Structure 1
Amino acid sequence: MEKKKFGNILTLGFALFAMFFGAGNLLLPPLIGVQVGSNFLIAMIAFGISGILLPFTGILSIIQSGDNFNDLGNRVNKFIAPVLGTIIMICIGPLIAIPRTAATTFEVGIKPFFPDMHVAWGSLIFFVITLLLAIRPSKVVDVIGNYLTPVLLILLALLIAIGIINPTAAFEPTKHSMIDSFSKGFLEGYQTLDVLASVIFAGIIISAAKAKGYTDKKSKMQVTIVSGALSSLCLLFVYGGLIYLGATSGITSTEVKRSELLINISSNILGQYGLIAIAVCMAFACLTTAISLTAAVGSFFSELFKNKIGYTPIVILCSLVSFGLSIKGVDQIINFAYPPLAFIYPIVITLVLYVVIFGKIIKDKVPYVGALIASAIIGLLGLFKILGMLSVGIIEKLNYIPFFENDMGWIVPSILGFSIGYFLRRNKN
């Protein structure tokens, strides 16, 4: 592989890692380690599936379909891309992910040093920087990949390596079974929002690859896939390390705030420099993700409205809404996020998986529609369950659906929906 191509892959891979690695990715793994204790390996595998493997599959689904999410949606139905894309962009944009990055930066990166500062001032500074860097989307990938990510990776690697060499405490025994630990790790992966983000970020990386000269299908696919694999390896190292640090933190209370847990771990490992290191990590991780998401929201909705509303006004509006919600705080945003994610995640996972697995074999759209309808129904029932809108009797009956009790009930119905759609279409033909 020539030197220039290798350098481009490093830039794109590091940029993609930084886009994925935001507030939730830094806060969620340590608490998983605290909750599952000695079962940290099974939880690590589960979190890796939903937080790394499925997002990488999301990238593959875009590459197989074309250049962006619209091409993926059109594989199923022309209305899928705008409707599902709008829901995804709202979730990974101003509703959940972007405000969470600002709230996390304040709680972990600013508040420990300036305890009297109001959260609004911290968020304001954060979004001014985000807006200035996101206003020129053509520069987003290079700025993130060449400058911000290497610093972030070096600091995280230092924290994890020292924590593994000199663990704070031994593994705590856990009350969770292996299945419960797996379910815990898998479902926490939803909170990273990375499957939703992957189908959007893939388009950004593909556009950046084309801008660097990889315009033919083969070279574009190769560069994007290798970049995605590089980002996945970085995520695997960081997630595994952070779960391990949580499991060996010596903290047994599962009610501990995520930000406080992370601060405690970094202080125990790096001493007085721990707060500084984790503050810089958090600022870089959250900024890179916020910049990427803000740019993605601006690009998506300006294209959706056919440039009747321009990129810049949408980016400004997204920043203002995100600023208002960020004042709520990290834990409140995460708790608020779970119900909508429980609904939308199964639908997106189903779309991504079935296109990647069957896309080259089955071209007909009906089976994919059947799988998506089944997942949407189960997702809606799961949403009603979380919101307390279903009686105990109905929930007991729904628990007969495989894995519904573990909030993964979409798996079997989606298979049935796909199979029914396939055989109905085959018989009709």
Structure 2
Amino acid sequence: MEKKKLSNILTLGFALFAMFFGAGNLLLPPLIGVQVGSNFLMAMIAFGLTGILLPFTGILSVIQSGDSFNDLGNRVNKNIAVILGTIIMICIGPLIAIPRTAATTFEVGLKPFFPELNPFWGSLAFFVVTLVLAIRPSKVVDVIGNYLTPVLLILLAFLILVGIVNPVEALETSKFTMMESFSLGFIEGYQTLDVLASVIFAGIIISAAKAKGYNDTKSKTEVTIISGALSAICLLFVYGGLIYLGATSGITDTAIKRSDLLIQISTNLLGHYGLLAIGLCMAFACLTTAISLTSAVGSFFSELFNKKVGYTAVVIACTVISFGLSIKGVDEIINFAYPPLAFIYPIVITLVLYIVLFGKTIKDKAPYIGAIIASTIIGTLGLFKLLGLFSESTIKTLNHIPFFEYDLGWIVPSIIGFGLGFLLKKK
């Protein structure tokens, strides 16, 4: 592989890793480890499915369909693409993901060093930097890939290796069954929002690859896929390491705040230097994600409104809304996020999986629409369940749907919907 191509792949791969690796990706794995203990490998596999494999599949689905999420959505229905794209951008943008990055940076990166600092000022400083760097989208990928990510990876790798070589405590026997550990890891992976982000980030990476001269389909696809694989390898190492650190932390309080858990683990391993290292990791991880997400929101909505609303105006609006919500704190944002994610995730996973598995052989739209309708119904039922709108008897009835009690009820209905759509179209 020529030197220039290798350099471009490293830049794009590290940029994609940093885009994915934000607040939730650093906070969620340690608590999973605390909960599952000796079953950490099973939880790691499950978390890797929704946090790594499915996001990589999301990138593949966009590549197979064209250059952006709109091309992917249009494989099913133009109107569905607009509606689904809007919901995704709101979730990974100003409603959940971006505010969470600022709140996490404050709780882990600033509060331990400045206990009296008001979250208002911490978030304000965070979003000023985000706005300045996101306002010029052409520079986003290179700034993240060349400068911010290498520092982040070095710091995380050092912390994880110390925890592996010299664990605080031995693994304790898990109170969870293997299936419960798998379900926990799988569902917690929803909170990374990476499957939702992958179908948007794919367009950013493809555009960056084309800007570097990879304009034909073959070279563009090759560079994007290798870059995605590089980011997946980095994520696997970091997620697995953080889950293991949680499992060997000696902490048994599963009600501990996620940010406090991360601070305690890093302090136990490296003392004051650990606190400094995790603070820097959090700042870099959250900043890179916030920049890329803000840029993606700006591009999406400016194009949706046919440039009648400019990119800069959307970016400013996104930043202001995110700033207002970020002051609520990490745990409140994460708890708020569960219901909308329980609704949207099955739909996006269904779209991504079926396009990758059957997109080259089945061109008709009916099977994909059937699968998405089925997943939407299950997603709605899951949303109502989380909101407490169902009685216990209704929930027991719904649990007859395969895997519904593990929040994976969309799997079998989506297969049935896909099959019915295929047969109806054929007839």
Q: Between the two proteins, what is the percent identity of the paired residues? A: 79
Would the aligned equivalents of 1:378 and 1:410 in 2 still touch at CA under 8 Å?
yes
Shift of 1:173: 1.7
Matched letter for residue 226 of structure 1: I
Q: Is 2:420 the partner of 1:410?
A: no
Q: State the partner residue of 2:89.
A: 89
Q: State the partner residue of 2:230.
A: 230
3-state SS of 2:18 partner: helix
1:84, 1:248 → 2: CA distance?
40
Q: State the partner residue of 1:80.
A: 80
1:405, 1:422 → 2: CA distance?
28
Q: Is 2:140 the partner of 1:173?
A: no
Q: State the partner residue of 1:384.
A: 384
Q: State the partner residue of 1:20.
A: 20
Matched letter for residue 118 of structure 1: N
Deviations 1:302-329 (CA, angstroms, capped at 9, x unpaired): 0000000000010000000000000000
Shift of 1:18: 0.1
Specify every segment of 5 or more residues in structure 2 that has no aligned partner in the other structure, as ranges: none
Q: State the partner residue of 1:394.
A: 394
Q: State the partner residue of 1:210.
A: 210
1:320, 1:141 → 2: CA distance?
23
Shift of 1:151: 0.1
Q: State the partner residue of 1:190.
A: 190
Shift of 1:8: 0.1
Shift of 1:80: 1.6
Would the aligned equivalents of 1:172 and 1:252 in 2 still touch at CA under 8 Å?
no
2:220, 2:305 → 1: CA distance?
28
2:274, 2:100 → 1: CA distance?
22
Q: State the partner residue of 1:280.
A: 280
Q: State the partner residue of 2:151.
A: 151
2:143, 2:43 → 1: CA distance?
34
3-state SS of 1:79 partner: helix
1:270, 1:83 → 2: CA distance?
47
Would the aligned equivalents of 1:101 and 1:290 in 2 still touch at CA under 8 Å?
yes
- Give the 4+ runs in structure 1 shifted more than 2 A: none
Normalising by structure 1, report the TM-score: 0.99
Q: Is 2:330 the partner of 1:336?
A: no
1:241, 1:136 → 2: CA distance?
34
Specify every segment of 5 or more residues in structure 1 that has no aligned partner in the other structure, as ranges: none
2:242, 2:395 → 1: CA distance?
35
Shift of 1:81: 1.5
CA RMSD of superposed structures (Å) = 0.4
Q: State the partner residue of 1:70.
A: 70
2:286, 2:228 → 1: CA distance?
20
1:81, 1:374 → 2: CA distance?
17
Shift of 1:391: 1.5
Q: State the partner residue of 1:48.
A: 48
Q: State the partner residue of 2:316.
A: 316
Shift of 1:393: 1.5
Q: State the partner residue of 2:139.
A: 139
3-state SS of 2:338 partner: helix
Shift of 1:392: 1.5
2:20, 2:276 → 1: CA distance?
22
2:30, 2:395 → 1: CA distance?
31
Q: State the partner residue of 1:347.
A: 347
Would the aligned equivalents of 1:31 and 1:246 in 2 still touch at CA under 8 Å?
yes
Q: State the partner residue of 1:199.
A: 199
Shift of 1:390: 1.1
Deviations 1:191-227 (CA, angstroms, capped at 9, x unpaired): 0000000000000000000000000000000000000
Matched letter for residue 316 of structure 1: I
Q: State the partner residue of 2:424.
A: 424
Deviations 1:74-104 (CA, angstroms, capped at 9, x unpaired): 0000112111000000000000000000000
3-state SS of 1:238 partner: helix
Q: State the partner residue of 1:241.
A: 241
Shift of 1:174: 1.6
2:373, 2:105 → 1: CA distance?
38
3-state SS of 2:113 partner: coil
Shift of 1:271: 1.3
Deviations 1:364-411 (CA, angstroms, capped at 9, x unpaired): 000000000000000000000100111212111110000000011000
Matched letter for residue 413 of structure 2: P
Would the aligned equivalents of 1:101 and 1:289 in 2 still touch at CA under 8 Å?
yes
2:364, 2:142 → 1: CA distance?
39
Would the aligned equivalents of 1:135 and 1:295 in 2 still touch at CA under 8 Å?
yes
Provide the aligned length of Structure 1 versus Structure 2.
427
